[in-house]
Homo-oligomer: A and B are copies of this chain.
């Protein structure tokens, strides 16, 4: 389930190893491709359309093509793994008093929901205020003022029984002090309304020109990282906005900055603030959106020289003339 639902294609999902809202439960696209067919640079069609979940016969060739953005071969067919449709959905929106409790809550709720946790989507306070103030039409599910808010979702098999467990789990979290307020959706309309807030990223257009980032890093590093980024942005641009939200259950944050005049120089300066602070933390400049052209100059933040050299070895071996999606990735 992707923010780009409606425009994303299966092929694009495979080429970029797309993620989305429910990776915590179902994995990235890579985990959901059983087999594929690809056309190599020399025109050979490699048909590896296997339907098996388990298949350890030589190298797992599909892995080469998934996420390589068309630079090693062109994916022409895929076999996808399907899952049982969940029979129940429970959604809550909770307020969390500090970052430590945000990470504690993730581990605790995952254990308490025993395999049914499907989303853990965090919104920093500024994002929450943005999507619940006019012209946005979302209403605030909780009125408590807190630095962090989380959309928690469980997908299971029995609406009534799962709801009872979900409520008990949240009550346990409330008593332990890891959450300070909670709204549990009681109808499909209420569940949809909570998700609508998370999906309402279009509100960021108010702060145009904007730049969108998609990073991942250790949970333990996130609080300091975001604080440093915000300090650096506001030191240079006192009016800077930085909306932070994302799939925290997967270590994946989205940042949308509204900074500067949109000039190439300003954009580069913002990228430098965001990306260079990932380098010492071993973070990723692209959690789920690939590299393409835009992030190409920043690949070295997340990949060492030997890694990039190995990528070049693969590229050279599979596409010696450089005819596949030329100039992309590195």
Contacts and interface: CB of A to CB of B under 8 A. Distances in A.
A60 B329 contact: no
B285 A217 contact: no
Contact of A307 (B58, B169, B283): B58
A289 B56 contact: yes
Contacts of A147: none
Interface in A20-46: 23, 25, 27-28, 30-31, 40, 44-46
Interface in A191-248: 216-218, 247
A152 B314 CA distance: 43
Copies of this chain present in the complex amount to: 2
B318 A251 contact: no
B114 A251 contact: no
Given A50-B284, A291-B56, A317-B316, A115 B44 contact: no
A299 B288 CA distance: 34
A306 B45 contact: yes
A258 to B, nearest CB: 24
Contact of A114 (B68, B158, B286, B316): B158
A289 B57 CA distance: 9
A19 B52 CA distance: 13
Interface string A43-82: 0111111111111111111011011100010000000000
A181 interface: no
Nearest to A113: B157
A201 to B, nearest CB: 18
